[in-house]
A = this chain, B = another copy of it.
Amino acid sequence: MEPDFSPLDDYLDEAGADGYLVDAASDDSTQRYLSGFDAPDPFLTLYTPDGTYLLVSGLEYGRAKKEARADEVRRTAEFDAQEKRQEYGRFEAGARVNAEFLAEYDVDSVVTPRRFPLGSADALRELDILVEAESRDVVTQIRSVKQEAEIEAVREAQKANENSLAAAENLIAAADVEDGVLHYEGKPLTSERVKEEIEVTLLREGCALDETIVACGADAADPHNRGSGPLEANESIIIDIFPRNKASKYHADMTRTFCKGEPSETVREWYDLTHEALDAALDAIEPGATGEAVHDAACDVYQEAGLPTLRDDPTTETGFIHSTGHGVGLDVHELPHVSTNGDELEAGQIITIEPGLYDPEVGGVRIEDIVVVTEDGYENLTDYDVELVVE
């Protein structure tokens, strides 16, 4: 099955443009999505209602022909890139090659992503191509709805994610407590050591990550703190892992909160409440329900328990101080919003549900599952116990 590109066709029609043009390497997820091609240097993808066309360097040509999701792949040499470079210099030559490529498909006006490179756009304009940045998130909206192969890719990344979390939990389980601090193999068990275990496990499963969160005590009370230093007994430890599969480029995302020893009464209560908020938000998921309604379901649980939420008190610095979730795919944060002003959910969207509570006096608690919206509700892609105390 192919994605439904009709909203892009409609948008081009409305904007009076012949095509949608991307000039980026494949680390740009819109490029990766439209081209289906993975390359480290920028190349062009032209989407038109008639087809998708790539313009790549000679170096990438053979591979692009085999791997890209394109009706046609062209190479810059076909448009005399070298000769133009001699005559016009690097920048203008590039634009002239691009303009000739567009002309092959009778395209003289394009809409682009908002982060399309200014230098390329202005140089095309000099050659009388109309270039406008899109005024809505048309393509990111389209790619929020996943095809079966994309769901499989997230499922695979999530499996690796669970294995890496298990490796982290095993380290904590195997640790001894000395003077209130976790020790492993005779040394204090640090956030850094646990992260390394997570990363090595992921790497052996074909996944990579730039950052991961292993945050204990007061660190865990700040949702943006990645955590550092020795882990303490009787404190909550938030582990949030969001790896990317290196081959598919799709992400997973999950969080568990652990405690080695005796959690405080408050952390215990927060944990149970957060588990309840997770279930309430999950129950609210179905096509047509808004991301806001799902967020509200989580907020309601906290509000009824008398705990502050950003929804009810925009100035609060403790309590539930972030969104309930977000879309996940080629980007770890993408559409849809699962928060105030979140739009209607569609079957095939992959989202996280991650309620949590934070207070520097208490610590932090967060539980996060990743799920796919289905025709009649959702399927939970997460297979990991929800248990606070690690023994």
Contact = CB atoms under 8 A, between A and B. Distances in A.
A117 B120 contact: no
A64 to B, nearest CB: 13
A118 B133 contact: yes
A224 B120 contact: no
A130 interface: no
A258 to B, nearest CB: 23
State the main secondary structure of chain A at its contact with B.
mixed
Interface residues of A, number: 30
Nearest to A112: B118
Contacts of A40: 210-211
Contact of A203 (B27, B118, B196, B211): B196
B117 A119 contact: no
Contacts of A200: 200, 203-204
A116 interface: yes
A294 to B, nearest CB: 22
A115 interface: yes
Contacts of A199: 203
A269 interface: no
A41 to B, nearest CB: 9
B119 A91 contact: no
- Assembly stoichiometry (copies): 2
Contact of A133 (B122, B131, B132, B196): B122
Contact of A131 (B118, B132, B134): B118
A59 interface: yes
Nearest to A63: B224
A210 B117 CA distance: 24
Contact of A114 (B91, B204, B224): B91
A107 to B, nearest CB: 17
A115 B114 contact: no
Interface in A125-151: 131-135
Contacts of A121: 118, 121
A208 interface: yes
B135 A91 contact: yes
A204 B200 CA distance: 8
A116 B117 contact: yes
A140 to B, nearest CB: 13
Contacts of A131: 118
Contact of A117 (B115, B132, B211): B115
A284 to B, nearest CB: 26
A59 B322 CA distance: 12
A39 to B, nearest CB: 11
A121 B120 CA distance: 12
A142 to B, nearest CB: 18
Nearest to A94: B114
Contacts of A91: 114, 135
A191 B122 CA distance: 44
The 3 A-B pairs with the shortest beta carbon distances in the complex, nearest first, are A114-B119, A119-B133, A115-B117
12 contacts: A40-B211, A91-B114, A114-B118, A115-B117, A115-B119, A116-B117, A117-B117, A118-B118, A119-B133, A121-B121, A200-B200, A210-B246
